[in-house]
Amino acid sequence: MLSFGDPSPFTGRIKASGRKIICQVQTLAQAKEAAAAGADIIIAPRAGRRRPFGDDTGHNGAGTGGGRCRRTYSGGRCRRYRRRRGLAAALALGAAGISMGTRFTASRESLWDQAMKDTTLNAGGDQTEQTRVFDIVRGAAWPATYPGRALRNAFSGHWCGREDDLAADQLEQEKAYLATAPDNFATRVVWAGEGIDLVHDIPTASAIIERIIAQAVATLTEGAKLIRY
Ligand SMILES: Cc1cc2nc3c(=O)[nH]c(=O)nc-3n(C[C@H](O)[C@H](O)[C@H](O)COP(=O)(O)O)c2cc1C
């Protein structure tokens, strides 16, 4: 799975190994690029959605154009959806599948520590925001066009809008950031998508998948009853 930037330098080798290529794109132009480079599956984070502040988790970019991606490409597409009944909605809109991240951060298999998982359980989508401050403070070389969606906290509140100041004092600020306690979520980053509203427990990954499939089957079955032949 490739995200960010031109996938074409890598796709030849991946194809040659007999594997499928998944490209996560942020813009219509990138979707076209990925298709031309031979992507088998394109993840369009905003496909069909019109949310003003995006609909993304972790590092996903601030691009737009998902709805247009959907109309442009048929076949192996995959969309990110995590609303209740989201899998059914994505399939109904023509996607071949969905990609999920946040839900699995609160799974038994997740490598996040318990305090991080508990924070996820207690947070809502309105508490998330796209920001670069956590990358800047950690000296991560993410381009400015790729902010990440995370839980808003005192640290991000303090530096949001003052990114240049933070960058100018990065070394000192990084020391302070790294010195904070692991359970200090006023400072520590917790990456999360807006679908965090729906995360209320910490099941196994397989239980999560089974639950989502069961919900989708129930929703699609109900929907099919609306059709009179
Ligand atoms: C903790 C975390 C880290 C992520 N890191 C990356 C990343 O490094 N690169 C990337 O392309 N996407 C990253 N993502 C985004 C996922 O690839 C995926 O698009 C997204 O999580 C799906 O949306 P959802 O989290 O709302 O289910 C990350 C997501 C999470 C939750």
Per-residue confidence (pLDDT) for residue 221, from 0 to 100:
95
Domain residue limits at 26: 2-101+205-225
117 and 145 in a single domain? The answer is: yes
Question: What is the residue with the minimal CA distance to atom 30 of ligand 1?
Answer: 58
Burial of 167 (0-12, 13-18, 19+ CB in 10 A): middle
Q: Ligand 1 centre from 101 Cα, in Å?
A: 5
Question: What is the residue with the minimal CA distance to atom 21 of ligand 1?
Answer: 101
112 and 185 in a single domain? The answer is: yes
Per-residue confidence (pLDDT) for residue 71, from 0 to 100:
34
Provide the number of structural domains found in the chain. Answer: 2
71 and 119 in a single domain? The answer is: no
26 and 70 in a single domain? The answer is: yes
113 and 185 in a single domain? The answer is: yes
Q: Tell me, using a 6 A CB cutoff, whether residue 99 lines ligand 1.
A: yes
Cβ(7)–Cβ(33) under 8 Å? yes
Question: What is the residue with the minimal CA distance to atom 14 of ligand 1?
Answer: 58
112 and 189 in a single domain? The answer is: yes
120-145: pLDDT as tens digits = 999 999 999 999 999 999 999 888 88
Q: Ligand 1 centre from 201 Cα, in Å?
A: 19
C-alpha span between 209 and 88 (Å, rounded): 13
Q: Ligand 1 centre from 148 Cα, in Å?
A: 9
User: Can you list the pairs that 86-95 forms with residues at least 24 positions away whose Cβ atoms lie under 8 Å?
Assistant: 86/195, 86/212, 87/212, 87/213, 87/215, 87/216, 88/215, 88/216, 88/219, 88/220, 88/223, 89/219, 91/216, 91/220, 92/220, 92/223, 93/47, 93/48, 94/70, 95/47, 95/70
83 and 160 in a single domain? The answer is: no
139-192: pLDDT as tens digits = 998 888 889 999 999 999 999 999 999 999 999 999 999 999 989 999 999 999
Among 60, 82, 135, name the best residue to mutate to test ligand 1's pocket (greatest count of ligand atoms within 8 A of Cβ). Answer: 60
Among 59, 138, 199, name the best residue to mutate to test ligand 1's pocket (greatest count of ligand atoms within 8 A of Cβ). Answer: 59
Cβ(193)–Cβ(154) under 8 Å? no
| Mean pLDDT, residues 63-85 taken together | 44
Q: Ligand 1 centre from 138 Cα, in Å?
A: 18
Secondary element (H or E) of residue 47? none
94 and 113 in a single domain? The answer is: no
118 and 83 in a single domain? The answer is: no
Query: CATH number for the domain including 33?
Result: 3.20.20.70
Q: Ligand 1 centre from 57 Cα, in Å?
A: 5
88 has pLDDT over 90? yes
Q: Tell me, using a 6 A CB cutoff, whether residue 24 lines ligand 1.
A: yes
66 has pLDDT over 50? no
129 and 87 in a single domain? The answer is: no
39 and 97 in a single domain? The answer is: yes
Looking at per-residue pLDDT, the higher value among 130 and 85 belongs to: 130
Per-residue confidence (pLDDT) for residue 59, from 0 to 100:
67
